[in-house]
Amino acid sequence: MKQFIACLVLSGLALCAHGQKDAERYKARAEEVRQDIWGKATAEFKVTNLPADMSNESAVIIARAFDITNSSKSRFKWVGIGFNVARRNLYRTVYHERVKINDKNALNEFSTIEYRKKLDNSTRFGFSKLYNTMETYIGAKIIKGDGKEVIVNTAEEVLTKDEKTRQEGKLAISDLQVGDILDYYIDVEEMKENNDDEQGPFTFVMGGDYPMLYINVRLQLDEKAGVQYISANGAPELKHSTTDDGDLVLKLEARNLAKFKSSMWTSPYRQWPYVILQYKIVGRYESPYSDYKAGTLHKGTMAFKLADFYRGAIAQMRVSADFTPQRLAYEYLGGKKKMRDLPKDSVVKVLFDYWRWQKLDVFNRQTIDVSQDVKYSRANSLQNALYMSYYLQDLDLDHDLLLLCSRNEQSLQNVLKLGDMDAVIRVAIDGKNYYMAFDDVTTRFNEIPVRFQGEEYIAIRAEKGRRAFSFTDGTAGSLPVTTAADNTTTETIRVQLAPSNGQLLQIDRSCSLTGAYRGSEQKRLLLSEDIDKVLSKALSEKTHMESLSANKTSAKLVPDFTAAFTKERNDWKKYFKAEIKEQYEEEPKEVTSYEIGDHGLLNSSPSFVYRSSFTMDNFVKKAGNNYIVDAGKLIGKFTKVDEKERSRSLDVYMFSARTFTFDINIAIPEGYTAKGVEELATNVTNESGSFVARASTDEKNVKISVTRSFNKAFEPAANWPNLLGLLDAVYAFNNKKILFEKKK
């Protein structure tokens, strides 16, 4: 025992000594990095005086630099089954920025630096070790108005995570003040052995929220590296050269970049200039499907090459596909033979419904976090489109696999990786196209998520031949787009002054949502247990709880899931309070009732309907014996369009074409008359949409009907004045009031 304890003590001392040595090595390297970056700073990183016209900017990026280097060497070492050659790849990425702080908003943004300090995913083979490590070195200094430089003590960092193989840190820039210049860097250094993983993608945006005087991007990559990159939306091209040693050098430099003026209704990857790049050390056993070639630079879209790769994977992936949804659908419909006599669109719908139920109506048995599992899980569309293709092939149904991009991401012309794209299935039955999107639990059969609508696609045609399906290039095109009549929010609102307090509004509100606006509120307001019940019962399947109870082993989890479902039901009121707060930008004083009228999860239930009753403060002011009611706020709170947004050169990307309708009835308190009702009338209509409000009154009620409609999801910048006219009309209505005057 004494010998054993002695060994423990010696081991502890050895570990302590090793830890101390490691800390000393890290400190020494941190000093080397500091000398390297600040000691070799270019003239752009020494600027202290800025143009006078930039004093009104929140912040100014004086200089920004990305420096990426890598090298690769082979070493002879023990790798588990004997001595072999192990490739050691070294990667260094340095981000260096110098920024002038002009106001408190910028001060808050730049007052801390958060980073991953260390990561060690190395693996051991006996006495040998394959390294996979990452270390980050940071530095920051403040340049005061008088030119004095204050070096921030990085030893004052706070480790937000401190584990054996992982550390994360945060450094407060405590002495930073408005008027100062902050010069900081983040240096990430990685070492990987026998790991030739793709690096990136790295995205370099030519602009941002602040004006930028200078940006410099430089990469020096090993001769064995292959590079793919795209310059999008007018971004400059990379300049490339080769060193005497064969290294590939890529450079990009730009000056005096204006800040992006428009942030409202934009799609940055479609509109802002950027360069995106990825690279890879090409090994001896590189996949024959790889498009990386050692020492070469490939510029331009990879979309069609990736589509070819995806087409080639159709046959290969079949052996690992999950055919459970197909099997269950066959059983539900009475077998494959009977299915051939059923309408094909009905068969395909059941296939999709079983896919959704089996893939997305799933609860994690480890975490048992029922509030997140079903509602917020997403499917891998590329994988699941292949699975559905197999199901359709078995039914001899021709179809198309459509590869496309979300309009919130890069366009099809600017993809680098297969994961940049999504897949949708299209099936033509009796001259009509049906679509299947593999998205989330609220997405129904023949429903295209709005982010894909109108998007260009590459089609892969799956067509039945004499003996088997063939997969060929289909006709390219774009997906259909829904109209404002397809995406609706209809609210019926009944309002009265609370009998106990005339300055409190009692509101009974019913909302019916269709199309694009349905999904987000379903995920917020529906209970996971209820979603499971609806989807399960629609297919005559057991619910999650019934399935657990039917098995002796899983039945042990029933109490845990019962508690989890009960907790979510107890939290249900919070979901409704959050929805009300989002609509009116203030919390309700009290929510007295709430319910779901129609779940809207099935094709037979197109609308999601929910109702709530609640009281609100700050809608009524008392003026002597009279009451002033903010009637315009009953359609929700709207903010005035910022002055900086009123002129625009960027095209407009909105969520969808849409229509909002409000039917409002405000009870007139007994002994009062309503004044100013006629002032609510508004009519602004143009080619981009309309805002129409009508109001009338009788002795008992003020009746207000409002329709707000936007005709398209996309508008050219030339139509921005039309949209601005609609938004101004909404804001003006939002601030209109009516008076309840005491009868004399």
Structure confidence by residue, pLDDT tens digits, 446-489: 999 999 999 999 999 999 887 788 888 888 899 999 999 999 99
Identify the residue whose tokens are 């909302």: 511
Grouped pLDDT means (10 residues each) for the chain, 744 residues: 41 51 90 96 95 92 95 55 61 96 96 94 67 92 95 94 94 95 96 80 93 96 92 94 93 94 89 94 74 87 89 87 95 90 96 97 89 89 96 94 96 92 97 97 98 97 84 90 98 96 96 97 97 97 96 93 95 97 96 98 97 97 96 95 90 97 98 96 98 96 98 97 98 97 90
Last residue of a domain, one of 137, 166, 195: 195
Q: Which amino acid is at 6?
A: A
- Identify the pLDDT of residue 11: 42
> Rounded to two decimals, what is the model's pTM?
0.88
Give the whole-angstrom CA distance, residue 273 versus residue 235: 5
- Identify the pLDDT of residue 86: 58
Query: Do 467 and 327 reside in the same domain of the chain?
Result: yes
- Identify the pLDDT of residue 682: 98
Q: Are strands 297-299 and 274-281 parallel, antiparallel or unpaired?
A: unpaired
Q: How far is CA 610 from CA 174, 209, 227, 574, in A?
A: 49, 39, 52, 14
Query: Do 639 and 736 reside in the same domain of the chain?
Result: yes
For 123-153, the pLDDT digits (tens) are 765 556 677 899 999 999 999 999 999 999 9
- Identify the pLDDT of residue 121: 85
Residue 124 is assigned to a structural domain of this protein: yes
Q: How far is CA 742 from CA 91, 499, 628, 668, in A?
A: 77, 16, 11, 11
| Dihedral sign for Cα atoms in the order 536, 538, 539, 542 | positive
Query: Do 2 and 118 reside in the same domain of the chain?
Result: yes
Query: Do 391 and 293 reside in the same domain of the chain?
Result: no
Strand partners of residue 299: 229
| Inter-residue contact 257 to 206 (CB < 8 Å) | yes
| Inter-residue contact 236 to 230 (CB < 8 Å) | no
Q: Which amino acid is at 140?
A: A
Q: Which helix (H) or strand (E) holds 674?
A: strand 672-675
Residue 502 is assigned to a structural domain of this protein: no
Mapping DSSP onto H, E and C, the string for 615-645 reads: EECCCEEEECCEEEECHHHHHCCCCCCCHHH
Residues 6+ positions from 366 with CB-CB distance below 8 Å: none
Residue 443 is assigned to a structural domain of this protein: yes
Q: What is the CATH number of the domain that holds 667?
A: 2.60.120.1130
Residue 492 is assigned to a structural domain of this protein: no
Strand partners of residue 212: 61, 257
Domain count, the chain: 5
Query: Do 291 and 329 reside in the same domain of the chain?
Result: no
Identify the residue whose tokens are 């024959």: 288
Give the whole-angstrom CA distance, residue 53 versus residue 61: 14
Query: Do 294 and 316 reside in the same domain of the chain?
Result: no
- Identify the pLDDT of residue 263: 80
For residue 667, count CB atoms less than 10 angstroms from its CB and return exposed for 0-12, middle for 13-18, buried for 19 or more. Answer: middle
Query: Do 584 and 625 reside in the same domain of the chain?
Result: no
Q: Are strands 297-299 and 225-232 parallel, antiparallel or unpaired?
A: parallel
Query: Do 313 and 396 reside in the same domain of the chain?
Result: yes
- Identify the pLDDT of residue 2: 44
Query: Do 26 and 140 reside in the same domain of the chain?
Result: yes
- Which residues constitute the domain of residue 375? 308-478
Last residue of a domain, one of 195, 212, 239: 195
Residues 6+ positions from 507 with CB-CB distance below 8 Å: 493, 494, 495, 613, 614, 615, 616, 634
Give the whole-angstrom CA distance, residue 269 versus residue 414: 9
| Inter-residue contact 465 to 417 (CB < 8 Å) | no
Query: Do 325 and 455 reside in the same domain of the chain?
Result: yes
Residue 503 is assigned to a structural domain of this protein: no
Residue 487 is assigned to a structural domain of this protein: no
- Identify the pLDDT of residue 312: 87
What value, to the nearest 5°, has the Cα angle with vertex 577 and ends 576 and 579?
Answer: 65
Q: What is the CATH number of the domain that holds 456?
A: 3.10.620
- Identify the pLDDT of residue 693: 98
- Identify the pLDDT of residue 427: 98
Residue among 93, 111, 112, 92 at smallest CA distance from 101: 111
Give the whole-angstrom CA distance, residue 73 versus residue 194: 10
Last residue of a domain, one of 264, 284, 300: 300
End-to-end CA distance of the chain: 100
Q: 257 in helix, strand or coil?
A: strand
For residue 402, count CB atoms less than 10 angstroms from its CB and return exposed for 0-12, middle for 13-18, buried for 19 or more. Answer: buried
Q: How far is CA 77 from CA 83, 195, 355, 369, in A?
A: 5, 15, 49, 46
Helix (H) and strand (E) counts in the chain = 15, 37
| Dihedral sign for Cα atoms in the order 442, 443, 444, 447 | positive
Give the whole-angstrom CA distance, residue 529 versus residue 569: 9
- Identify the pLDDT of residue 82: 46
Query: Do 226 and 206 reside in the same domain of the chain?
Result: yes
Q: If you ran DSSP here, which 8-state letter would residue 52 be given?
A: G
| Dihedral sign for Cα atoms in the order 333, 335, 336, 342 | negative
Residue 631 is assigned to a structural domain of this protein: yes
Residue 645 is assigned to a structural domain of this protein: yes
Rg (CA), the chain: 31
Query: Do 524 and 564 reside in the same domain of the chain?
Result: yes
**Helices (H), ranges, 361-439:** 373-376, 381-394
For residue 589, count CB atoms less than 10 angstroms from its CB and return exposed for 0-12, middle for 13-18, buried for 19 or more. Answer: middle
Residues 6+ positions from 282 with CB-CB distance below 8 Å: 196, 224, 225, 226, 290, 292, 293, 294
